[in-house]
Structure 1
Amino acid sequence: MNNPILLFDFGGVLVDLNRPRVEAAFDALGFDIRPYLGTYKQSGIFSQLEQGRITPHEFCNELRRLSGHADLADEALVAAWQSYLDTVPADRLDMLLKIKQHYHVCLLSNTNRIHWRMAEDTLFSYKGLHVTDFFEHIFLSCELGVEKPAPEIFARVAEGIGVPAGDILFFDDSEVNCEAARQCGLQALVAPAHSEWLKYFDENGKLHTSYVQAQP
């Protein structure tokens, strides 16, 4: 891999996730989110939202039905779900900007319109920049209608970028997702949370040769 296209996951890699906070937020509304909240992929209505099968308002309607609290406002439910996302620390944003000087940088995320609106409005608002300044292509499960680790999503990414799958190096905090990407022909490296994935790059944003050479 001489000059791969770099494809980053969003949740857990770029943005920190706060599971205790989102659990407490929904507890306060009388809804137990725990059965729906997976380590790397949600289930039930949360998965439907992340596949774009339901709108945010339909999502809120279903939460009201499931919780038995018909008086819960959309704004309260949306705020509770937003509390799952923490921040994108400055060191990661700075590194992305350095990386972009050497590579084509793209994003692939299992996410939903509520969380992505936060990304657009606040999480990537940095030094006068916006999310589209960090990534050349953005692939969202809620727009593609499919979630990782389904093979279709990786095929759609390669097609969307317009390169062979083998030219893409994918960074995700889930080994399951990384292995699924490899099965589809992509290269993949597990990207540990809390900025530990920065170890793959030097201070100027270039991949360390040892990691590139280790790829099949």
Structure 2
Amino acid sequence: MSDGTRGTRHVAFDWGGVFTVGTFDGRSTQNVADRTGIPVERIRDSYFRHVRQLEVGAWTLPHFWEVIQAETGVSMPYEEFEPLYLGSIHDNGPMYASLAALPPHVHVGLLSNNYPVVSDHLRKDPRFARFDALVFSNELGHKKPSPESFAALADAMGRPAEHVAFVDDVQENIDAAERAGFHGLLYHHERHAEFETDLSAWLAG
């Protein structure tokens, strides 16, 4: 808990479902189906059976796409797939506004189950300059809710876990964060104002 001195409480976030609206995976598979005419159920069956290989960095995105094409009958060059994939990101504007409004003394982290190329794309986003620590599962080799992922976040933050709130839209990840000593804040898009109130109260300590 806070020791009463300014700047002793901090925050870390998930990305998908927090800084994005809806699910990136659902939107990206739908976009592929819409572009190619292949049934979305067929694409999702293959996508979700293999996506963990991306999340832990075992496969590159081009290899992942080769497997999807072979299994589904999709025919689209990788050079067309990558921008379509990245274009499936739908930003949650209010959360980016909340990020920008955080006081300068607040240390800010990110722990995201993410993918090669997508994580590189996010690192180049000027808004991500506000983050002091970025932990992506595809670079770490472990994904939430594993203890290793939250240990890596604590190391990257350089702050005691009990001084850090972790924001995620999945209860399982909040539970894992709390087991690791973080203060969990479950996020709902439709209650963003309530989230801001809760985060401000936490940071004020």
Q: CA RMSD in A?
A: 2.7
Q: Match for 2:49 among 44, 53, 56? A: 44
CA deviation map 1:23-49 (0-9, x unaligned): 432324326233367xxxxx4321111
1:66-105 matched pairs, under 5 angstroms:
66-69=71-74, 71-89=75-93, 91-105=94-108
TM-score (norm 1): 0.77
Of stretches 105-114 and 158-167 in structure 1, the one that deviates more from structure 2 is 158-167
2:5 corresponding residue in structure 1: none
Q: Are the equivalent residues in 2 in contact too, given 1:25–1:83 (CA < 8 A)? A: no
Residue aligning to 1:200: 195
Identify which range, 79-88 or 171-180, moves more after superposition. Answer: 79-88
Contact 2:46 2:71 in 1 (8 A): no
- 1:150 and 2:136 equivalent? no
| Count of residues in correspondence between the two structures | 195
Compute the displacement of 1:80 (Å): 4.0
Query: SS of the counterpart of 2:167?
Result: strand
**Contact 1:18 1:84 survives alignment (8 Å):** no
Aligned partner of 1:179 in structure 2 is 175
SS in structure 2 at match of 1:208: helix
Q: Match for residue 17 of structure 1?
A: 22
Task: Find the aligned partners of 1:36 and 1:198 in 2 and give their Cα distance.
Answer: 37
Are the equivalent residues in 2 in contact too, given 1:200–1:208 (CA < 8 A)?
no
| Superposition deviation, residue 4 in structure 1 | 1.9
**Preserved CA contact (<8 Å) 1:17 1:85:** no
In structure 2, the residue matched to 1:189 is 185
Look up the SS of the partner of 2:200 in the other structure: coil
| Compared CA separation, residues 155 and 206, structure 1 to 2 (3 A) | closer
* Local SS of the residue matching 2:118: helix
Contact 2:53 2:59 in 1 (8 A): yes
Question: Which protein has the bigger helix share?
Answer: 2
* Distance in 2 separating the partners of 1:16 and 1:190: 15
Identity of aligned residues (%): 25
